[in-house]
Amino acid sequence: MLWDQVKSSYEELAKTHEVVVIEGAGSAAEMNLRDRDIVNWPVVEMADAAVILVADIDRGGVFAQVIGNDGSPGSGRTETGDWCGH
């Protein structure tokens, strides 16, 4: 499975690097894709990673997106960590 390869790759990197940057595209939670795709929050949870959520204010609706991701049902987390707007 692809998830096993992702997990194994992360574990190898984490053994030899103090910091591993995990970049994700799209929504932080991606609740509609969790059952069939590798989405951002499961990777965060697997790595027990700190999160910096970056949002683009020029695209509109950014505050709703950030607040919606803060403890969303699909995220399994109650806080996103730090976030910054562009």
State the total domains in the chain: 1
Q: Is 11 helix (H, G, I), strand (E, B) or coil?
A: helix
Structural domain of 49: 2-85
Number of C-alpha atoms within 13 angstroms, CB side, residue 17?
Answer: 10
Contact call for residues 26 and 56 (beta carbons, < 8 A): no
Query: What's the mean pLDDT when you consider all of the chain?
Result: 76
Write the Ramachandran bin of 32: left for phi over 0, alpha for psi from -120 to 50, otherwise beta. Answer: alpha
Global pTM? 0.65
pLDDT, tens digit, 9 for 90 and up, residues 10-19? 999 999 999 9
- Return the higher-pLDDT residue of 43 and 60: 43
pLDDT, tens digit, 9 for 90 and up, residues 18-51? 999 988 766 666 777 777 788 787 888 899 888 7
Is pLDDT at 77 greater than 90 in this prediction?
A: no
At 52 the pLDDT is: 78
